[in-house]
Chain A
Amino acid sequence: MSEGEHISKHTNTMNQKDIVLQIKDLHKSFGDNRVLNGFNMTLHKGENLVIMGKSGSGKSVMIKCLVGLMEADKGSISVMGKDITTLNQETLDILRADIGFLFQGSALYDSMTVRENLEFPLRRHSEKFDGNVDTNSLVIKALENVGLAEAIDLMPSELSGGMKRRVALARTLILQPKIILYDEPTSGLDPITAKEIIILMQEIQKKYGTSSLIITHDVDCARVISDRMILLIDGINYAEGAYAQLSISKDPKIKAFFKH
């Protein structure tokens, strides 16, 4: 079965105006190692798109190119109609207020309390709230959203892995982003905590109507949360479609992802 057969026509049927994020022909190499080799994708408004791939397949590289943490060798990345590869630093920083990023290891600032961690993004983006920022109420509201209001004055070292992930999610939410990028949101967590995080992600998506790009190799997470999936193999979007569609594929490369 050729790879073309796996590409769903799902994207073509959706309204092109609803595209919030689009990658075209993305290439990225590290020396002789070609990680991304012409990757393409689109994310639509309110959609949960899961990208799955093996470790080292370039998922994290792709997501870092998306927010300008890494420079792509070739290709275009458009976020809400703006090509981020051509933006200056100031415009990119303003655009970043609309993109939340949940890091794989939570990436909480360990010299700051939970409150200070959440206040940090507000320092730069107060204009998003027309200058009227009630920092305290925003912090409390964000923590309440993830069920951790009581941890406000704790240091990250005093939190468990699951709590850290929740606080990181609250920090991502505080700027009320339109797109949230999740880099392995359940990795390193026990199955119960992982399930709690997945439920939380669904609740947030429903409450705020955000578009989510989720990078994972957790099949359960993909099954529960995805509206659509892309399998990143050999640096390209090898297969694309709904979970139910891909999970019954006979292609050995695709089947390998869904074996339990």
Chain B
Amino acid sequence: MLSIQSLRQQIDSFFIEIGELSYFAGRYFKESVKPPFEFKELLRQCYSMGNRSLLLVIITGFIIGLVLTLQTRPTLMEFGAVSWMPSMVGISIVREIGPMITALVCAGRIGSGIGAELGSMRVTEQIDAMEVSGTNPFKYLVVTRIVATTIMLPLLVIIGDAVALYGSFLVEILKGNVSFTLYFNQVFNSLEFGDIIPATIKSFFFGFAIGLVGCFKGYYCKKGTAGVGKAANSAVVFTSLLLFVIDFIAVFVTDIFYDL
């Protein structure tokens, strides 16, 4: 009886949180079109987010490219299809692995950072101080961060994809005999707009989700310093879950367009 009640409470609080997040997103869209615009803070956030995540995205992308090629090569060799390697790696990285891995890395790096930073500002009354000084803290802190993640994530995905493909090319050099031009010609010949455009659009949504959830968790952080840790942690967990949901929807919608 108690467990059913507890389950019901958890389901209730989940839907309440979804409702609050939707309201928060609605407020973001409303505030983002109203002047004054905080361009200086937006640029600072773009630089900070790109700068903080670039190295991590490069390392992750490089390793993903290496591992994917190393693990796929023996199977392709068995079927005498090793020449398909650049196409296979190119399509899988550009369509799915690149955006998803980059988004997950950024959810951990940027999402938790935003959650912790805004959470700490909330519990130390810095957000209240901003409001009292007549500055709209939602516009200054939240809108700039969400716009920055939405802009920066597709750029980081492009860099991550490029590094992953280069990692894959290095394995091909070590294991086989292929030139840089031949390898990348084959990669780009196999890629179509139908691969690149949906993946890029998806990356914008990933960036938006990372910024939105991080800001939501931090902005409404409660219960002192323990709350800051909880905000950072739940920002990563909730964003990661949301990224998979967005990915599923994106693939589903792309599939419908392909069928048309």
Contacts and interface: CB of A to CB of B under 8 A. Distances in A.
A81 interface: no
Contact of B125 (A94, A96, A107): A107
Interface string B109-140: 00000000100110011101111111110000
Contact of B132 (A67, A89, A94, A111): A67
A175 B129 CA distance: 14
B129 A107 contact: yes
Contacts of A94: 134
A110 B134 contact: no
Nearest to A128: B134
B134 A121 contact: yes
B135 A123 contact: yes
A123 B121 CA distance: 20
A52 B115 CA distance: 35
Interface string A116-146: 0000110111000000000000000000000
A120 B120 CA distance: 19
B134 A96 contact: yes
A111 B135 CA distance: 16
B134 to A, nearest CB: 4
Interface string A171-203: 100010000000000000000000000000000
Interface string A93-116: 110110101011101111100000
Which among A67, A89, A124, A175 has the highest number of chain B CB atoms within 10 Å?
Answer: A124
A116 B196 CA distance: 43
A37 B134 CA distance: 29
Contacts of A69: 128, 131-132
Contact of A96 (B121, B124, B133): B133
A175 B134 CA distance: 11
Contact of B133 (A105, A110, A111, A124): A124
Contact of B124 (A105, A120, A121, A124): A105
Nearest to B132: A101
Nearest to B127: A107
Contacts of B120: 110
A104 B125 contact: yes
B118 to A, nearest CB: 11
Contacts of B136: 89, 93
Nearest to B135: A124
Contacts of A101: 129, 132
Contact of A99 (B117, B128, B129, B132): B132
A171 B132 CA distance: 12
A101 B125 CA distance: 11
Nearest to A124: B134
Contacts of B135: 120-121, 123-124
A59 to B, nearest CB: 15
Contacts of A109: 121, 126, 129-130
Contacts of B130: 109, 120
Interface string A44-70: 000000000000000000001001010
Interface of A: 64, 67, 69, 89, 93-94, 96-97, 99, 101, 103-105, 107-111, 120-121, 123-125, 171, 175
14 contacts: A64-B128, A67-B132, A93-B136, A96-B132, A96-B133, A97-B134, A103-B125, A105-B124, A107-B124, A123-B135, A124-B135, A125-B133, A125-B134, A175-B133
Given A99-B132, A109-B129, A120-B130, 5 more contacts: A107-B124, A108-B126, A109-B126, A109-B130, A120-B135
